[in-house]
């Protein structure tokens, strides 16, 4: 597609459930980022993938969070045993390469609400 | 540690007037600075960046930003605001310890009044 695609656009789930968020980056983009945007706060870096290199997981807030990127394209962010503080908009971004140092293209995000 | 601050949560400006959205930064070494815009229910869009060179950087949609090293600022500006410029604006600085991360400000909501 023309842009970064994220699904679902909205997700409501009960506390304690697991959720999976999907990101389909722009074709050919080797760098992929996940960010979290909480109400009234800026964006919080979660994880970064670059090609076949080991991902930079330094931003993941707890071991309940994990992400993978299959075949260098689609990425899935998984949150296990969700908590209310996980409620946020989760944004995915991609870039042609890491050399730009910039997540250049963002998806519209997944709005996650934990009841 | 690197950080940016956006001192104003909300900025209102009349259509046709010049607009400024403020950003100050804190970073050791030379900063890489960015501006993004977020329209309602949409992801962020890259507006412009400063890496090196001219202090006045021009970006998308007629926006520009001025890098001021002495004031550690990178304010976003536009000579004549449009109603369609109403959005949330984020300033960001790149993590100098690696290329993997940007530190974002908390955002400034710009409202352009017709």
The rounded average pLDDT for each run of 10 residues, N- to C-terminus, in chain B (114 residues) is 89 97 90 90 86 89 94 96 96 73 88 96
Omega into A98 within 30° of 0, i.e. cis? no
| pLDDT above 70 coverage of chain A, percent | 93
The torsion angles phi and psi of A100, rounded to 5 degrees, stand at: -70, -25
A48 vs B94, B100, B104: nearest CB:
B100
The minimum CA-CA distance between B47 and chain A, rounded to whole Å, is: 9
Cβ-defined contact of B34 to A91 (cutoff 8 Å): no
d(CA B113, CA A22): 37
B102 vs A4, A99, A103: nearest CB:
A103
Q: CB-based contact (8 Å) between B106 and chain A?
A: yes
DSSP state of A80: -
B43 vs A56, A91, A101: nearest CB:
A91
d(CA A25, CA A28): 8
The torsion angles phi and psi of A93, rounded to 5 degrees, stand at: -140, 155
Predicted pLDDT of residue A115: 94
Predicted pLDDT of residue A104: 76
**With contacts defined as CB-CB under 8 Å, which chain A residues touch B94?**
101-102
A98 vs B45, B92, B99: nearest CB:
B99
Cβ-defined contact of A101 to B94 (cutoff 8 Å): yes
Cβ-defined contact of B101 to A56 (cutoff 8 Å): yes
Reported as a single tens digit per residue, the pLDDT across A2-36 is 789 999 999 999 999 999 999 999 988 888 999 99
Whether A58 shows a pLDDT value over 90: the answer reads: no
d(CA B15, CA B75): 19
User: Smallest Cα–Cα separation from B30: which of B69, B65, B4?
Assistant: B69
Q: CB-based contact (8 Å) between A96 and chain B?
A: no
The minimum CA-CA distance between B7 and chain A, rounded to whole Å, is: 13
User: Smallest Cα–Cα separation from B22: which of B91, B80, B92, B81?
Assistant: B91
Please state the length of chain A. 115
Shortest CA distance from A32: residue in chain B: B100
Predicted pLDDT of residue B97: 63
Predicted pLDDT of residue A40: 67
Give Cβ neighbours of residue A113 (< 8 Å, ≥ 6 apart): A10, A11, A12, A13, A87
Shortest CA distance from A99: residue in chain B: B99
DSSP strand pairing (B33-38 vs B87-94): antiparallel
Helix, strand, coil proportions of chain B in percent (round to 5)? 5, 50, 45
Q: Is the dihedral of CA A40, B57, B26, B43 positive or negative?
A: positive
Which residues of A25-87 form beta strands (DSSP E)?
31-37, 43-50, 65-69, 75-79
User: Smallest Cα–Cα separation from B43: which of A58, A103, A69, A99?
Assistant: A103
d(CA A51, CA A94): 11
Overall average pLDDT of the A97-112 stretch: 77
């Amino acid at each position: 597609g023309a842009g970064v695609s994220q699904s679902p656009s909205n997700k409501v789930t009960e506390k304690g459930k697991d959720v999976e968020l999907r990101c389909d980056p722009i074709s050919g983009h080797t760098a992929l980022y996940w960010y979290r945007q909480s109400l009234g706060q800026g964006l919080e870096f979660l994880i970064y993938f670059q090609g076949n290199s080991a991902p930079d997981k330094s931003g993941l807030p707890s071991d309940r969070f994990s992400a993978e990127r299959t075949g260098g394209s689609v990425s899935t962010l998984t949150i296990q045993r969700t908590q209310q503080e996980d409620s946020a908009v989760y944004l995915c971004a991609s870039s042609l390469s890491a050399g730009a140092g910039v997540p250049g293209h963002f998806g519209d995000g997944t709005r996650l609400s934990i009841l | 540690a690197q950080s940016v601050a956006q001192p104003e949560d909300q900025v209102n400006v009349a259509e046709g007037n010049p607009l400024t959205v403020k950003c100050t930064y804190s970073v050791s070494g030379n900063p890489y600075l960015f501006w993004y815009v977020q329209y309602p229910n949409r992801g962020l869009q890259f507006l412009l960046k400063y890496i090196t060179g001219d202090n006045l950087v021009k970006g998308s949609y007629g926006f520009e930003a001025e890098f001021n090293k002495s004031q550690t600022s990178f304010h976003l500006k536009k000579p004549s605001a449009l109603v369609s410029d109403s959005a949330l604006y984020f300033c960001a600085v790149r993590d100098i310890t690696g290329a993997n991360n940007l530190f974002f400000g908390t955002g400034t909501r710009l409202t352009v009044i017709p």
